[in-house]
Amino acid sequence: MKMWWGYLHSNGHIQVKVWSGDHRDYTDDCYGNDFVVRVVPPFMAANREDAIKHITWKLDVENNE
């Protein structure tokens, strides 16, 4: 399994990234970026498809809170 993170892009698409261990990837580098709507911090997933499912689920959960 790999660590992944992702974000909702301002164009409405989910961006999924393999996490290299640098916390700036999903924190400092995203703050103030007009293209980043919401960030999903690192999590474990077996593959890219599972990572997309997790990010989609997490964004839906946050949207319904």
Residue 51's pLDDT is what? 98
What is the residue range of 48's domain? 2-63
Q: Which helix (H) or strand (E) holds 36?
A: strand 36-45
Enumerate residues 6+ apart whose C-beta is below 8 A from 28: none
Enumerate residues 6+ apart whose C-beta is below 8 A from 21: 3
Query: How far from the centroid of its chain's Cα atoms is residue 1's Cα?
Result: 16
* Pairing outcome for strands 2-9 and 36-45: antiparallel
Residue 61's pLDDT is what? 86
Could you identify the residue written with the tokens 């399994």? 1
Q: Please tell me the total count of domains within the chain.
A: 1
Mean pLDDT by 10 residues, the chain (65 residues): 96 96 93 95 98 96 79
Residue 7's pLDDT is what? 96
